[in-house]
Amino acid sequence: MTFLLTSGGHNAGIISEPGHLRRHHRIATKREGEPYMAHDEWLATTKERDGSWWPTWPARHSGDQVKPPDMGKATAGFAPPCDAPGGYVLEE
């Protein structure tokens, strides 16, 4: 089991891309049969790493990069109303 702790709040820590300033993370893996580690011990024994967690996360957790699927389903009458990210993000 791998646990990764990021900085930056519940959204920013997750989506901060590589190269984002002021981000750091900690990561550690518990193998089967290893004893439980309390949170304060885990924090004291894991090294803080500068930068985004994206390059650190093991490649085995990711598949090949693929093109995202088309939005909507125009053949069923559900064409997307506009291009991403959508008009609502521009509303004030």
Beta-carbon contacts of 51 under 8 Å, excluding residues fewer than 6 positions away, are 18, 19, 20, 23, 24, 25
pLDDT of residue 67: 85
Q: What is the pLDDT along the chain (92 residues), one digit of tens a residue?
A: 888 888 877 677 677 777 777 888 899 999 999 999 999 999 999 999 988 888 887 666 777 878 877 777 888 888 877 887 888 888 87
Strands ordered across the beta sheet of 49-50: 2-6, 24-29, 49-50
pLDDT at position 31, please? 92
The CA angle 58-10-23, to the nearest 5 degrees, is 60
Of 88, 20, 8, 27, the C-alpha closest to 52 is: 20
